[in-house]
Amino acid sequence: GQQLNQSPQSMFIQEGEDVSMNCTSSSIFNTWLWYKQDPGEGPVLLIALYKAGELTSNGRLTAQFGITRKDSFLNISASIPSDVGIYFCAGRADSSYKLIFGSGTRLLVRP
Amino acid sequence: EPEVTQTPSHQVTQMGQEVILRCVPISNHLYFYWYRQILGQKVEFLVSFYNNEISEKSEIFDDQFSVERPDGSNFTLKIRSTKLEDSAMYFCASQPRQGRGNQPQHFGDGTRLSIL
């Protein structure tokens, strides 16, 4: 079945540093979403991308929908302690309702 | 901001018992979903529901699972005879519409299901 490869698996960075994570797929998606999950809570939407090449920002977060429609990245600039959590990419293919999730990137920020 | 709400937050059930997980989607949304997340793993799709019927389901969603929208607000997931491997976080999600101008799925905070 369709799978997303998300990397890195985890990151431990210093407060103020920039962070980059990405997802790749062997198949084409028409939607890429980035979610953040805190312990004991559900995924919270950060950024939604619907068009190949689209670059979208939400505060310190920037995400891009790859031109090939098989990848996406998320950048976080000037990280702060509350950025700690697990970040998931999710993709949706044409003619399907479901989201396929990546395995997550666990972000730890050292004050 | 409108939210997807799920109850209970934690359900402990004996193996073999039936369990019903409840969700109240965002009120003007048309598409409803259940996902699960086994501890430490990624979120997996179970089923999607639109216009009072299942529109898509995964291999996980076997005959032991069923969904229902009994009234205009609730969306439920029933597991008929629970197994140990059903222990997971179950997330409900809802979405306004599909097609061009797609809208994202919004998730609830989940129900932690523990099977003993």
Look at the alpha carbons of B2, A74, A3, A38 in this order and tell me if their dihedral is positive or negative.
Answer: negative
CA distance B58 to B44: 9
The predicted-structure confidence for B44-61, as pLDDT tens digits, reads as follows: 999 999 989 999 999 999
Q: How many CB atoms lie within 10 A of CB A14?
A: 9
Compute the average pLDDT of residues A14-40: 94
Percentage of chain A surpassing pLDDT 70?
A: 99
CA end-to-end distance (rounded Å), chain A: 40
Maximum mean pLDDT: which of A76-85, B89-98, B99-108: A76-85
* Cβ neighbours of A32 in B, within 8 Å: none
Look at the alpha carbons of B35, B38, B40, B42 in this order and tell me if their dihedral is positive or negative.
Answer: negative
A43 close to B (CB below 8 A): yes
Predicted pLDDT at A44: 93
Band of residue A43 on the pLDDT scale cut at 50, 70, 90: very high
DSSP letters, B21-40, are EEEE--TT--EEEEEEE-TT
pLDDT at position B26 over 80: yes
Q: Residue A101: which of B42, B101, B112 has the nearest Cβ?
A: B42
Band of residue B98 on the pLDDT scale cut at 50, 70, 90: low
Measured in angstroms, the CA of A50 and the nearest CA of chain B are apart by: 7
